[in-house]
Structure 1
Amino acid sequence: MFFLKRNYTLLICFVFALSAFAQERDKAIPLKTILQTIEKEHHVIFNYIDTEIVSYIIPPPKSTLTLNEKINYLQNKTNLSFENINNQFITVFNKSESDSTLICGHIFSRIDNSPLENANIQIGRGNTTVSDKKGYFELKNENSNEIVVSFIGFTTIKITIPNLQNQDCITIYLEQEISELDDITTNHFLTSGISKTLNGTYEIKPKKLGLLPGLIESDVLQTLQQIPGINSADESVANINVRGGTHDQNLFLWNGIKMYQTGHFFGLISAFNPNLAHTVSIYKNGTSAFYGESVSSVVDISSDTRDFEKNSFGAGINLINADVYSKFYSSKKGFFEISARRSITDLVETPTYKQYFDKAFQNTTISNFSNQQNVNYTNDEKFYFSDVTVKYSQKIGLKNHFTVDFISINDRLNVYQTNTINSNYQSENNTLYQKNYGGNLSWERNWNTQNTSKINTYSSSYELDAKKNKIQDNQIVKQENKILDNGIKLENHHVISSKFTFNNGYQFSEIGASNLDEVNSPSFYRRNKSVLRIHALVLEGKYNDTISKVSLNAGIRINYIEQFNRYLFEPRLQFNYGIFEYLNLEILGEFKSQNCFQIIDLQKDYFGIEKRRWILANNTTIPIQRSKQASISLTFAKNNWLITLENYYKKVSGINSSGQGFQNQLEFEKINGDYEVFGTEILLQKKIDHFISWISYTYNDNNYYFPNFIHPSFSNNFKMDHVITWAGIYEKDNLKIALGSKWYSGRPETTPVNDKINNSNPSNPTIEYNSPNNKHLEPFFQINFSTTYKWKNQNGIQYKLGFSILNVLNKQNEISEYYRINTASNSIEDVKTLALLRTPNLSFRVNF
């Protein structure tokens, strides 16, 4: 009986124990669930690796405990460590993992203290990892105390901590990258202030630009002609030829506004004030898909929107123009930037102005008027130009940024001439106005560290008016060319990971062009007007791995032209690979199109000075211009040596002969064709202390193909078989000296078969020509010099004095040659156009 009672008691105790143990097991829950509950109760974030906590199932701590008490409880119940960072982020890691082999940390944005997901972390030259959505990372140490952290849009940092392996989890804050430019592959390209980026873009910062031969100011369009592959066949910034293309095939943007006028004084001076704090991006190939309306290069000029230390003011004068510049805060987060420039040519005639005038007006109707066998000749000329820019920038909070930009460019020429020949009185009153106005409103929104949006609305208006009044004949000839370009651009930038970003956008533009010709006697009136509306969808992906040194940008632009109901697909590619630390391989490619370009009706239009008119494609007689280009290059940069070698292929189709500047049998033809270029560009540069010297060589084989012409294939008008430039630049302290030269083989010309005029049609005598561009001019050679010196007074005011000489040797370089009929002598005239002769310039500037 006792035995039965004892067994019964043991059975009851055993059942009770099982019940108690089962109840205890029922209260135990997964650790991950406990952590999620604590996150909600105390508004904290736990960082952990799932595989390290999945095996823990424990009773939860009492809800009445404090945060620290709950953490202590969890540490006692598990084999885990909990690190509390600012009572906001708590890192959970396994104690059993050797402290000497594990490094952990958190990565945050300095802007808003938000965690950065997918930041790239590397220790020494070994293990790599990325941060999770909470900014947390772990990696095994490899006997190194140095880690590198990178994230797109933020400055890459290198952290060195003694005995890193014995530290707790570290906290890292990344600063937002001030510059929006891509990583630099080559700095100090040609001179200080010019660099080349991973996507093949050349960046010019005029405020930091060093000295270049013949320049005493940071003239944007003169500077970019120093880059291999970019030349001007006639020394004009209004006729820049990039890899054999015409000037109008280049896209010029100023703060998102397309500029249809780029030069003052008919192309001898850049229309963009060199004293603005801006960045100039130049794309010869591999253009981003966000750029359209160009079959050649892109020149994107953008003013600086960053904060600055103090208000500034500057003023300067040279032998052509005077200017003022100011940048000042209007509030804590807003500022104005204003610049204005005006020529002094209508007030004083300097030696520089005299050389510019002779160069601009040679072989025009204005100079021809004075070259007649005159007895009594008088000339009254007034010429001036001006430009004004205004920027207003305003930040609203940490995420919004508004900017407003305005630009005005004006040129005006008035020439009144009288002449008496054999008692016959002749007089003309010529006027020519050229102006380009533009405005842009931009809003940028940083939604978070991974997403940014930008919207731009812009307008650009261009007008060219010419009026020629032959007073004695009571004849008035009037011509006009107008362009109105309005549009909107939407851009979205998404950071997918530390290595990959995705960009997309939409663009719409409406371009209207009109041309007017009017004569009162005999009566003649012609006016043409056309409008195109173009939609574009942009998709672009960028991959940039700083560790493997691979950069890839690939995109596509899809254009839809309403009037033609036509789609155009334009892929773009930029690839860069660091073969070694000092050797880079670059591959670029693009397809592009253009609907607005220039033609020349007659070489004597606008008095023979400004002959080009902007027109729009009609998809029939005037086709859309389309281009394709590919290039491959190597860049070697080591021990202050820089060597670049680039080979390229370029083809542009849909060109019209009237836009190529023919002055031979093709002058009055209007036929369509294409041109094709194979080229090589080489640069060799060395920097030694304060001295830098470089030499570049460019070769291009550039030929037209007009299938409907009797001679379908021949040399391009802008072909320069060989171009060699050299410069030596010395910069120390406040003194800069530059000496350089340029040599290139002569441009093609077309010669007459003989010196006889063809009078088979007496009402229209003609010249019999050989095949087009059958001969070349003599080579061009020029030596240029410039120097500047700056100093400060005790009040911090900076002064700068500059002096330059173009064509030091005063060499007569022929830049074009054509033939025309002289009706007075009934003979053929050989007309030669010369480059600038020796042209000095002097400048003085003050900044404070």
Structure 2
Amino acid sequence: MKHYFFVLVFFFSMTIVAQQKQDFKYTQTSLSQVLKELQERNNISISFASDAIKDIFVTIDIKQITWVEFLSVLESETGLTFEKISENQIIVTPHTDNNIIVPIEALNDIIILGYVTNGIDKNKDGSIAVDTERLGILPGMVNTDIAQSIQLIPGISTLDESATGIQVRGGSPDQNLILYDNIKLFNTGYFYGMFSLFNPFATQKATIYRSGTSASYGDRISGIIDISSGNKIHENTKGGFEIDGLSINGYVKTPLSSKIGLYLFARRSYSDLLKTPTYNSYVDKIFTNFGVARDVNGNILELETDDDFSPETSNNTFNFADISTKLIIKPNEKNDIEFSALYTRNRLDFDFKGGDEVLVDSLITQNKGISFNWKHQSSEKQQEELTAYFSEYNSFYQNDEIKDETGDGILDLSEVNIRENNITEIGANFTSFTQIRESQKLTLGYQLSFTDLDVTISKEKPIESEREVLVQDDSNLKNALFGEYTINLNNKGLINAGVRFSHYSSLNEFLIEPRVNFEYALSKRLRSKIAIERRNQPISQLIEFNHTELRLENNLWRLSDDKQYPLLSSNQISGGLLYHHKSLNIDADFYYKELKGLTTFTNGFSNPLENLEQGESTIKGVDILLKYKRNNYKVWLGYTFNDITFQFLNLEDTPSKFNGNNDITHQFRISNSFKLNNWQFALGWQIRTGKPITPVNSYTIEIDADGENAGVVNFGAINSDRLPSFHRLDASVLYDFKIKKTDAQLGISLLNIYNRIKPLNLIYKAERKPLDDGGIAIEGTTGETPEEREIILEQVIQRFSLGFTPNISFKLFI
């Protein structure tokens, strides 16, 4: 209880009385009435379309601020744009990302402004729109990180507290399609995914699909995260700077002319120069991957491992950097041209002394990408869009083992293990949009891409002059046609029917993906929805554990073939009800998914024995969201129920169906935010069921033929046990102020306030006892089949939750 008391004191002990000019107090007052009074009180002119504001009511109680500052409050509360075009003239329009004022009908795409909180809206097609410029404060965050922000949406979560291990309705992270300014990304995180590679300044908006995906998106079977850095040409140069507990970043947006704009974003970590408490907390989480392991009876498993790692016996150096830029050209009202470029780099060097050996690890990952986008308005009812992109991903991991092999007291390089993964993809998309009638639109498109992927796995023993190398180089040419027909029933609903035809050369297979999305208003306050879709994925990540002394898996991308690595495919159906009245939102969504093409090496699956088998999965789930707002206080509750079942018929000693590795039965999150003058406060708590694990029924130490200990293990049924439940309390505080005439913000966040650290995952490294073949001989094994041989447990890898983690941020805007 003392932790909760601390949070309450922390939240409400900081207040401020701003010395400004006017008081504004309204309770469920129509926006039209508020604007009318604002005009009369300040002798200004406000222009707006009545349809844009007719159903908007506001509740505000703010004292002593200027009317200009009050317009910013209204923007945050309503989601509209209040543009000051002269000293006393204001234009109110729907929020837009370019300098063209769109017709008011554009609001028809959004059915709920502030679906979760300010800046997270619900679109009619079921997608979620995130606008970081309007995004309100979120618990545990000091900046508008897209990857962390969308985890407030039920059905979107991570099992490891990372920013990149995002699972959408039971799918693994590699099953999500992630685009940044039309550049396809194969890696989205730093420091083993704990931090997002998206500079918060460089992500102005994002569209998120949990289901009901447009036919224009392909090649993935789970979520869609489509991010844009924006496309507005500003009248004057804008910029910003931020420093927090991990990195320094900044941006500049400047007009080169009235028709050309340039964006530049840059960020770099400084942990290689200064290690803060924020960084040290993440280090403890990432590198502490061992703990006390027990069998079902509570007996400790005494393993011969290198678990004597400690921060005192190790060294680590980590740094990341990213830079992105965008050139926007608007030669006239009919053409919109964009060029974007992105570069990210992540490096980690780590070493520690374990017993009589030194272990050295190095990991480098990087992304490179460029894109071109041209939108052309041929006529009032016809528009075309052409996109071209280049994307490259590189991952290189090396592990060196240094020890005294000869007994002369001299340390020698004993073994070198390398894992390398490179992907290059180039592609082009052409899309045609035809407005057949005012409420009907036809979309047709063609997509072409070529993917080249190589994997290198090597093991070298310099002293014995032994080397094993596996190199695979694969490629895939994709041709895809898609079309969809959309009927917009104004406020009544939407019907979208589409189909996608794809051919992948790596499979030499022609695939059809039908999709239907239906949304309808049953009444003014209640809406129904249903979505049915089939999707395929020709590339996925496999997990390979051997020789990773950091005890973190190597996620290696592989292209599907018609042999070892099958095509991932999914059939999905979802439906539900949405209730919206004034400040209350209640959304319930049910879904059912069938996945085929899984393997025991698929991302998100772990098996005590590394044998490759194929399987499938069934996912049943419910997502529920409740949001309520009163005055300057908001509360939102999210709950997800999941029933994820795996089926691998050929796995040994395994029931035909068992709990999936990511089967988190219950997930619940409650978040609160409160605004008081220039202060913003947020408090959030989350709890979820523990992850399924395979229990150890018994464990005994035997002596092998070499006189060494060998731990013989007997596993229980796969995933028949669970880890403890996970829960965490987070808080944030933001304070907006001015340094002379420059806007500034100070932020403080606290993750896991009561410092509860529990295992989030448990993985076994085991193998069958070898036969007496001149190798590692063990008595009593001759004549046995592989299935009859005993299992030797080599290592238990445990991953723990993040401990208490503070962070502080300072921002300056020009």
**TM-score (norm: length of structure 1):** 0.75
Q: In structure 1, what is the equivalent of residue 221 of structure 2? A: 295
Kindly state the Cα deviation for residue 596 of structure 1 after the two structures are TM-superposed.
Answer: 0.8
| One of 461, 465, 470 as aligned partner of 2:401 | 470
Kindly state the Cα deviation for residue 821 of structure 1 after the two structures are TM-superposed.
Answer: 7.1
Q: In structure 2, what is the equivalent of residue 591 of structure 1? A: 534
| One of 788, 798, 812 as aligned partner of 1:832 | 798
Larger radius of gyration: 1
For residues 515-534 of structure 1, the C-alpha deviation after alignment (integer angstroms, 9 at most, x for no partner) is 11223322111101100111
**CA distance in 2 between partners of 1:364 and 1:531 (Å):** 38
Q: In structure 1, what is the equivalent of residue 438 of structure 2? A: 498
Match of 1:224, SS state, is helix
Q: 1:698 to 1:828 in 2, by over 3 A?
A: same
**Aligned pairs (5 A) from 1:159-558:** 176-177=102-103, 183-276=109-202, 278-363=204-289, 371-372=307-308, 378-418=313-353, 421=355, 424=356, 426-471=357-402, 472-474=411-413, 475-521=415-461, 522-546=466-490, 549-558=492-501
Q: In structure 1, what is the equivalent of residue 23 of structure 2? A: none
Q: 1:604 to 1:784 in 2, by over 3 A?
A: farther
Q: 1:760 to 1:768 in 2, by over 3 A?
A: farther
Kindly state the Cα deviation for residue 617 of structure 1 after the two structures are TM-superposed.
Answer: 0.3
Kindly state the Cα deviation for residue 566 of structure 1 after the two structures are TM-superposed.
Answer: 1.5
Q: 1:604 to 1:586 in 2, by over 3 A?
A: farther
Task: Between 220-229 and 517-526, report the one with greater CA deviation.
Answer: 517-526
Structure 2 letter corresponding to 1:462: Y
Q: 1:500 to 1:418 in 2, by over 3 A?
A: same
**CA distance in 2 between partners of 1:625 and 1:761 (Å):** 44
For residues 326-373 of structure 1, the C-alpha deviation after alignment (integer angstroms, 9 at most, x for no partner) is 1001121011111111111111111110010111122289xx998439
| One of 550, 555, 561 as aligned partner of 1:612 | 555
Name structure 2 gaps, 5 residues minimum: 1-50, 55-80, 82-99, 292-303, 403-410, 770-791
Kindly state the Cα deviation for residue 497 of structure 1 after the two structures are TM-superposed.
Answer: 0.8
For residues 540-562 of structure 1, the C-alpha deviation after alignment (integer angstroms, 9 at most, x for no partner) is 11110216x12111111100123
Task: Between 475-484 and 486-495, report the one with greater CA deviation.
Answer: 475-484
Q: In structure 2, what is the equivalent of residue 102 of structure 1? A: none
| One of 765, 772, 783 as aligned partner of 2:718 | 772
**TM-score (norm: length of structure 2):** 0.78
**CA distance in 2 between partners of 1:591 and 1:839 (Å):** 41
**CA distance in 1 between partners of 2:309 and 2:366 (Å):** 36
**2:370–2:389 CA contact under 8 A, matched in 1:** yes
**CA distance in 1 between partners of 2:221 and 2:560 (Å):** 14
Kindly state the Cα deviation for residue 765 of structure 1 after the two structures are TM-superposed.
Answer: 6.4
RMSD after superposition: 2.7
Match of 1:614, SS state, is strand
1:841 maps onto 2:783 in alignment:
no
Q: 1:760 to 1:773 in 2, by over 3 A?
A: farther
**CA distance in 2 between partners of 1:508 and 1:370 (Å):** 48
**CA distance in 1 between partners of 2:131 and 2:644 (Å):** 31
**1:759–1:766 CA contact under 8 A, matched in 2:** no
**Aligned pairs (5 A) from 1:559-638:** 559-602=502-545, 604-605=547-548, 607-638=550-581
Kindly state the Cα deviation for residue 564 of structure 1 after the two structures are TM-superposed.
Answer: 3.1
For residues 215-261 of structure 1, the C-alpha deviation after alignment (integer angstroms, 9 at most, x for no partner) is 11111111111100111111112311111111100111111111111
Structure 2 letter corresponding to 1:483: I
Match of 2:497, SS state, is strand
**1:207–1:277 CA contact under 8 A, matched in 2:** no
Structure 2 letter corresponding to 1:776: R
Task: Between 518-527 and 778-787, report the one with greater CA deviation.
Answer: 518-527
Kindly state the Cα deviation for residue 395 of structure 1 after the two structures are TM-superposed.
Answer: 1.4
Q: In structure 2, what is the equivalent of residue 76 of structure 1? A: none
Structure 2 letter corresponding to 1:411: N
Q: What number of residue pairs does the alignment pair up?
A: 666
Q: 1:457 to 1:766 in 2, by over 3 A?
A: farther
Kindly state the Cα deviation for residue 605 of structure 1 after the two structures are TM-superposed.
Answer: 3.6
Match of 1:356, SS state, is helix
Kindly state the Cα deviation for residue 473 of structure 1 after the two structures are TM-superposed.
Answer: 3.4
Name structure 1 gaps, 5 residues minimum: 1-120, 125-154, 156-173
Structure 1 letter corresponding to 2:269: S
Q: In structure 2, what is the equivalent of residue 754 of structure 1? A: 698
**2:329–2:337 CA contact under 8 A, matched in 1:** yes
Structure 2 letter corresponding to 1:266: Y
**CA distance in 1 between partners of 2:481 and 2:147 (Å):** 30
Q: 1:180 to 1:412 in 2, by over 3 A?
A: farther
Structure 1 letter corresponding to 2:433: H
**CA distance in 2 between partners of 1:513 and 1:497 (Å):** 45
1:809 maps onto 2:758 in alignment:
no
Structure 2 letter corresponding to 1:235: E
1:723 maps onto 2:677 in alignment:
no
Structure 2 letter corresponding to 1:810: N
Kindly state the Cα deviation for residue 720 of structure 1 after the two structures are TM-superposed.
Answer: 0.8
**CA distance in 2 between partners of 1:661 and 1:443 (Å):** 38
Q: 1:603 to 1:274 in 2, by over 3 A?
A: farther
Match of 1:523, SS state, is strand
Kindly state the Cα deviation for residue 604 of structure 1 after the two structures are TM-superposed.
Answer: 4.5
Q: In structure 2, what is the equivalent of residue 785 of structure 1? A: 731
Q: 1:246 to 1:317 in 2, by over 3 A?
A: same
Q: 1:177 to 1:758 in 2, by over 3 A?
A: farther
Match of 2:192, SS state, is helix
Task: Between 750-759 and 445-454, report the one with greater CA deviation.
Answer: 750-759
Q: 1:404 to 1:179 in 2, by over 3 A?
A: farther
Q: 1:828 to 1:447 in 2, by over 3 A?
A: closer
Match of 1:564, SS state, is coil
Q: 1:780 to 1:260 in 2, by over 3 A?
A: same
**CA distance in 2 between partners of 1:307 and 1:671 (Å):** 53
